[in-house]
Structure 1
């Protein structure tokens, strides 16, 4: 009887070990949805940019997006602009009607050291969309990440 119990335990352990990589892969992919700059908007209509279904469905959820950090306006800011391509100047606009389709504002959960404008980064945070004016700076944005962090890639 002990031999049968040993085989059952062994089979159980092998099955658990075999499924462990699948569980970690599932958790990793479901933690944050991946966004791409070229899929943030679905059209340029009469009223301007229209957000994609992916953006609308991801609002309020953790997302990741890769890009570049535009030079910050001041050294101790808790936010920066994420751009699709490296920019040597800050791309903030005077109104949301002029908002480019390849940037988003990133509000950091905690202060981090900024990186060079040409260093690729991966940013993770909670997605918000729609016109919003920051009460502290007066900057207008269409897309934002809140409680965000980033790392160089």
Structure 2
């Protein structure tokens, strides 16, 4: 395993990540599966609503970015060779989550299964620099390749 973190962790935590350790924080955080995010159509499930503002863990795949200079990636439930972003929130698929990094971006191969930790955020928002519209997001994310 290889851990990538962009949260300004302590030197000890950063060194542990270098050698592939999964931080105990992952074990203590609530998790959300893609299939549990929505209840009916495009309505968020009660479980997802209850996680608003909390640090959570999700597992999925990092879709390739459209531009190398962006500070986010799209977390998907299945590997995707291209970015699945939509330009309209009404078309938002229920199997992607916009994931913002805090700090420098490090992308991984789209076929690598990853575990992502971040603060769960909901509501329709538009990313200023790119114009991408999102309904669910993870903020201040870090990830571990599984």
TM-score range, shorter chain: 0.7 to 0.9
1:72 — aligned with what?
65
1:5 — aligned with what?
none
1:50 — aligned with what?
43
- Aligned-pair RMSD on alpha carbons? 1.4
C-alpha change, 1:117 and 1:101, in structure 2 (3 Å) is same
2:109 — aligned with what?
116
The structure 1 residue matched to 2:121, chosen from 114, 124, 128, is 128
Kindly state the Cα deviation for residue 103 of structure 1 after the two structures are TM-superposed: 0.2
The structure 2 residue matched to 1:147, chosen from 132, 140, 145, is 140
Kindly state the Cα deviation for residue 112 of structure 1 after the two structures are TM-superposed: 3.3
Q: Is there any run of 5+ residues in structure 1 with no aligned partner, and where?
A: 1-24
Q: Distance in 1 between matches of 2:138 and 2:104?
A: 14
Kindly state the Cα deviation for residue 73 of structure 1 after the two structures are TM-superposed: 1.2
The structure 2 residue matched to 1:35, chosen from 20, 32, 40, is 32
Kindly state the Cα deviation for residue 29 of structure 1 after the two structures are TM-superposed: 4.1
Name the TM-score, length of structure 2 as normaliser: 0.80
User: Secondary structure of 1:125's match?
Assistant: strand
**Which segments of structure 1 move beyond 6 Å, counting only runs of 4 or more?**
none
C-alpha change, 1:29 and 1:119, in structure 2 (3 Å) is closer
C-alpha change, 1:28 and 1:146, in structure 2 (3 Å) is closer
How many equivalent residue pairs?
Answer: 123
C-alpha change, 1:107 and 1:58, in structure 2 (3 Å) is same
Q: Is there any run of 5+ residues in structure 2 with no aligned partner, and where?
A: 1-23
Which is helix-richer, 1 or 2? Answer: 1
Name the TM-score, length of structure 1 as normaliser: 0.76
User: Secondary structure of 1:136's match?
Assistant: coil
